[in-house]
Structure 1
Amino acid sequence: MNNPLFYAKILLFGEYGIIEDSQGLTLPYSYYKGSLKFSDLDSDFILKSNSSLKKYTEYLETLELPSEFLLDVERLKNDIDKGLYFDSNIPQGYGVGSSGALVAAVFSKYAIKKFEPETISKDELKELKKIFGLLESYFHGKSSGIDPLICFMNLPILIENKESVDKVNIPAEEVGKGAIFLIDSGMVGETGPMVQIFFEKMKTEGFRKTLKEEFIHYNNACIHAFLKKEMNPFFRNLKSLSIWAYEHFKPMIPESLYKAWKKGLDTNAYYLKLCGSGGGGYILGFTKDYEKADEMLSGFQKEVIYRF
């Protein structure tokens, strides 16, 4: 394909925890996608994207990348002059990897050495994550490299710890009553300020203790149960995780969803959690009975991403 597609990503588990060495689980999400294309620069969107790529290239020129991961920046600059832009429907500020998909697309097209996702080793994944962290830092100040890695691989990825990631198989979808779904908070979230709030909280010993002893415990237990398809322990730990977030991540929960979050906990009809850094964008929902949850959350725009 001349214009390979790069899908959005969803961090199912691990928001904030991965900063402190928790596990994470992330999946590609094909509803949103982007692709590098050429055009006559005949619309505001295309002009803006082309101009953003130009600025991004100036940043890339300042990077000193290892020889194995070098980019052909000159070819990229020439292509930008010919009208290159990133054609994407991935919403920005929604926690689904808009900058990650762009970085993955640029790396895929302009990396001098070509990497095939199917044959990448675990060691190469680790190195690629570091490189993608450098490439994406332009957009967020500091990046773990996870988002572009997911978008590039287009496979579910298990974040084992800060250093190590691996490809993972998630249970096949089934046509059941249960679902994982996205709720649109109706507002854009900004990663920077939310992460700043988190680091402020980390300065207090009590918060650090509860994050390590409770949040990370529930988070990792959810991942293990989900991958083994053990739904009872999954939902038990998920409820604990949702309660913890309601108590400790309140600034990151969009105000429009406070009541709905609490309603899910009170009725056990569904449980909500952050999708990425929060503050806006999407929130993740989990339920054993989607029809019931859908009814209780009427008025919110929802998208089902996984059925069981």
Structure 2
Amino acid sequence: MTNPLFYAKILLFGEYGIIEDSQGLTLPYSFYKGTLKFSDNQSDFEKKSNESLQKYSDYLSTLELPKDFKIDVDAFKKDIEKGLFFDSNIPQGYGVGSSGALVAAIFEKYSFIKYIPESISKIQLKDLKKVFGELESYFHGKSSGIDPLICYMNLPILIENKESVDKVSIPKEEAGKGAIFLIDSGSVGETGPMVQIFFEKLKNEGFRKTLKEEFIKYNNACIDSFLNKEMTPFFKNLKNLSKWAYVHFKPMIPTNLYNAWKNGIDTNAYYLKLCGSGGGGYILGFAKDYEKAEKMLEGFNKEVIYRF
């Protein structure tokens, strides 16, 4: 059997808010993917990946995981000696879950108990998210476990709050004029420093207040209206969300997108928001008329991820 592919993920809504108990909505994104493979004579990429896996396996040796989610670290280490590496085209620092896919692939291959994602209960999801948080914290210092969970499940996931997640159905794509799309900022974003900025901002009582009373309200309303396919309230809340981010998340917005971000709000042709922690990588765009938005965003590399 060939090793399964693990897709990237896109956090459609909930960036930073999920740290403060907002809802989140995240989808698998099959354009980018990764899989564990063996190589005899390794290229530089394969060698580097193999060395990284070696270091990661040492970290796994130190973890005390719950018995239902234990990993066969010995088998993993033996395979690393045989030339195991992670063959992935998921860009790092772009907010699409490069480390999440790696963690999901390792768990799928080396966990003692094998799970069928479609059959996993809501309670198991909660436990799995916690375990994935521990497994991924090696890469980011602290992880919610959401990214590996999405990559592992390969299903849309609704983050209900800090503790609870559930599988969810998103409206079927249609060949309409509207689109959700990614814009490549052209630079890499580092999660750590961006999250640090956010925590600094949280020390300010005024920021905490507006985050809870405005950002989380708009964010949750966007998720609700999107899942119910109510596009008028969806775009109304999206505009508020984009405006709020332009004012309060400015350090996280790549500088080459400031003007485009504001232009979208002023013309109502499209709205932009962060995709993950920001600072670089991808930015998310939403437009009722994608052709019009595309012309206005000429010069930027764009990828459509959903049509409506």
Range into which the TM-score falls when normalised by the shorter chain: over 0.9
**Which secondary structure does the structure 1 equivalent of 2:11 belong to?**
strand
Structure 1: 4+ residue segments shifted above 4 A: none
Gaps of 5+ in 2: none
**AA in 2 matched with 1:221:** A
* Alpha-carbon distance in 2 for matches of 1:289, 1:55: 47
Cα distance in 2, alignment partners of residues 157 and 41 from structure 1: 39
Q: d(CA) in 2 for partners of 1:211 and 1:303?
A: 29
Structure 2 partner of 1:191? 191
Structure 1 residue 228: deviation in Å? 0.2
Counterpart residue number, 2:104: 104
Deviation digits for residues 8-40 of structure 1, max 9, x if unmatched? 000000000000000000000000000000001
Structure 2 match to 1:232: 232
Secondary structure in structure 2 of the residue aligned to 1:172? coil
Q: Quote how far apart the aligned CAs of 1:141 are.
A: 0.1
Deviation, 1:42, is 2.2
Post-superposition offset of 1:149: 0.0
- The Cα offsets for residues 142-188 of structure 1, whole Å up to 9 and x where unpaired, read as 00000000000000000000000000000000000000000000000
Q: Distance in 1 between matches of 2:210 and 2:278?
A: 19
Q: Which blocks of at least 5 consecutive residues in structure 1 are unaligned?
A: none
- Aligned Cα RMSD in Å? 0.4
State the alpha-carbon separation in 2 of the partners of residues 245 and 121 from structure 1.
Answer: 35
| Amino acid across the alignment from 2:289 | D
1:138-217 to structure 2, matched below 5 A, reads 138-217=138-217
Aligned to 1:45: 45
The residue number in structure 2 matching 1:115 is 115
* Residues 181-213 of structure 1: per-residue CA shift (max 9 Å, x gap): 000000000000000000000000000000000
Q: Which residue of the partner structure matches residue 222 of structure 2?
A: 222
In 2, distance between residues paired with 1:154 and 1:85?
21
The whole-number CA distance in structure 1 between the counterparts of 2:303 and 2:114 is: 35
Is the counterpart of residue 86 in structure 1 residue 92 in structure 2? no
Question: Residue type of the partner of 1:219?
Answer: N
Q: Which residue number in structure 1 is paired with residue 305 of structure 2?
A: 305
The Cα shift of 1:245 comes to 0.1
Matching residue's letter, 2:49: S
**Partner of 1:30 in structure 2?**
30
Tell me which residue corresponds to 2:287.
287
Aligned partners of 2:179 and 2:298: how far apart in 1? 16
1 CA distance for matches of 2:240 and 2:261?
Answer: 13
Quick one: distance in 1 between partners of 2:41 and 2:246? 46
Q: Distance in 2 between matches of 1:66 and 1:244?
A: 41
Equivalent residue pairs, number: 308
The residue identity in structure 1 corresponding to 2:194 is M
Q: Residue 124 in 1 paired to residue 121 in 2? A: no
* Equivalent position of 1:61 in the other structure: 61
Task: Return the letter of the residue paired with 1:56.
Answer: Y
Question: 2:75 is matched by which residue type in structure 1?
Answer: R
| Corresponding residue SS for 1:303 | strand
Identity among equivalent positions (%) equals 80
- In structure 1, C-alpha distance between the alignment counterparts of 2:2 and 2:65, rounded to whole Å: 26
Cα offset, 1:6, TM superposition = 0.1
Q: How far off is 1:41 after superposition?
A: 3.9
In 2, the alpha carbon distance for the partners of 1:303 and 1:141 equals 30
Alpha-carbon distance between aligned partners in 2 of 1:87 and 1:142, rounded to the nearest angstrom: 25
Q: For 2:171, what is the secondary structure of its paired residue? A: coil
Q: Given residue 284 of structure 1, which amino acid in structure 2 is its aligned partner?
A: L
